[in-house]
Chain A
């Protein structure tokens, strides 16, 4: 809280004088459940990437070889800064590779 501006430091009426302010909003703090991708189960179908309303599923150029020896050129990761934990990715995943883990629990 100490980092937030004081009332006299905010433009009048709360106007935003610089663009891109929503990028700074850490919507990840809203999360109750954290989606976790099992990279071995994931078949790289991109359905979660397409369905995520926040664009919080990120395609990373990182090779992954599953325990069964299947080699993928990319990895899908979750941007927890923005992920609100809505669970749509887990709901849509055709191979149940995404599980929802309660935040603050290991």
Chain B
């Protein structure tokens, strides 16, 4: 399989092209813009037979996605940060209408103060909109996740939209080698267009999105609960099939040197590279530590997280965003919930790093781990996040 030098944004565009997407309503926003540019190029060159809808805002882009998916098209869009906030209204509408749209989110900080740089606050704010969320940690995985996302979204037991998230700039604008199949039919065989969702058809008319009063809303909303349960199963099944076809294996979480590790350092997105390197350096010092990353954020893989963390002496979660009001990071909260539900009482420490793309050094992770292990040993667990890289 040939290897191309691609940014994660271009990897997204290549995957979208290979999935033979029909409609792409999109509005440019840094750091997403190069996805829209590359896809426009593919369409202009005749390499992709799709309709690009130039809209006046992200709200319109997502609205056009609703319409196109409701008409039965395979739809792609991409946005982040302020664009994602503007489009927010459409997020629960998409999941509520059960439309299998795939959206790439190269995550970026939120204003104010205005920042164009990488940070996961936009994704964390959009977590509860009923979308499946896959977080990628390298350009190859971005390519692979977009392809798998269509299989997951369009699966008849799921029918929910999927966000494929990754780090703005740190991934969206850095070039990595990516294996891209020569023949796009290989990808198209993997994601056949079955169109198993309810769509608008003049020969079989339906009304989508009617008003639901108090005696209807709850049941219709509840339908998403089993769909999310199924999504967990389907994410694993699709990953297994993907492995058989393309030889790259994915799961809901990923572990690194964790078999015998007393402690685990946990992250998501590009931080994974830092964690692995830090784990190697800590292992050289004789410290029993491993790494873990969250690939599937929604539905939260509760059992997998609990199984990975039980019988450990402690875990550290690095959240790449700063959300106030809760004393700990958002993914730390999720992990604690997963553990509590599973009766696992491994102690954890929340850390925040890379906020607004504050530079992260591998030594920060090494120092953090050493400091946290001392805390675990002494039993003095902080009740608030440790803020790394802050001038304080």
Contacts and interface: CB of A to CB of B under 8 A. Distances in A.
A15 B198 contact: yes
Interface in B197-227: 197-198, 205-210, 212, 215-216, 219-220, 222-223
B163 interface: no
A15 B208 CA distance: 5
Contacts of A16: 206-207, 210
B219 A13 contact: no
A10 B210 CA distance: 13
A1 B214 CA distance: 11
Given A13-B208, A16-B210, A19-B205, A1 B215 contact: yes
Contacts, number: 50
10 contacts: A4-B216, A5-B219, A10-B216, A12-B223, A13-B198, A13-B223, A15-B208, A17-B198, A19-B205, A21-B210
A10 B212 CA distance: 12
Contacts of A7: 219-220, 222-223
B133 interface: no
B210 A12 contact: no
Which 5 residue pairs of A and B lie closest in terms of their CB atoms, listed nearest first?
A14-B220, A7-B219, A16-B207, A13-B98, A13-B97
B206 A12 contact: no
Interface residues of A, dominant DSSP: loop
Interface of A: 1, 4-8, 10-17, 19, 21
A21 B222 CA distance: 21
Residue of A4, A7, A10 with most partner-chain B CB within 10 A: A7
Contacts of A11: 198, 206
B96 interface: yes
B245 to A, nearest CB: 29
B220 A13 contact: yes
Interface residues of B, dominant DSSP: loop
A12 B219 contact: no
Contacts of A4: 215-216, 219
A13 B96 contact: yes
Contact of B198 (A6, A8, A12, A19): A12
Contact of B197 (A12, A14, A21): A12
Nearest to A4: B215
B207 A15 contact: yes
Contacts of B65: none
Interface in B216-262: 216, 219-220, 222-223
Interface of B: 96-98, 159, 197-198, 205-210, 212, 215-216, 219-220, 222-223
Contact of A15 (B206, B215, B219, B222): B206
A62 to B, nearest CB: 35
Given A5-B219, A7-B223, 4 more contacts: A1-B215, A7-B219, A11-B206, A12-B223
Contacts of B206: 11, 15-17
A69 B362 CA distance: 101
Contact of B212 (A12, A14, A17): A14
A10 B207 CA distance: 13
Nearest to A12: B98
A53 B176 CA distance: 64
B362 to A, nearest CB: 46
A21 B213 CA distance: 14
A12 B159 contact: yes
B125 to A, nearest CB: 24
A8 B198 CA distance: 15
Residue of A7, A8, A13, A14 with most partner-chain B CB within 10 A: A13
B290 to A, nearest CB: 41
B219 A6 contact: yes
A10 B215 CA distance: 12
Nearest to B222: A7
Contacts of B96: 13
A25 to B, nearest CB: 9
A1 B213 CA distance: 13
A4 B220 CA distance: 12
Contacts of A5: 219
Residue of B96, B159, B197, B210 with most partner-chain A CB within 10 A: B210
B209 A13 contact: yes
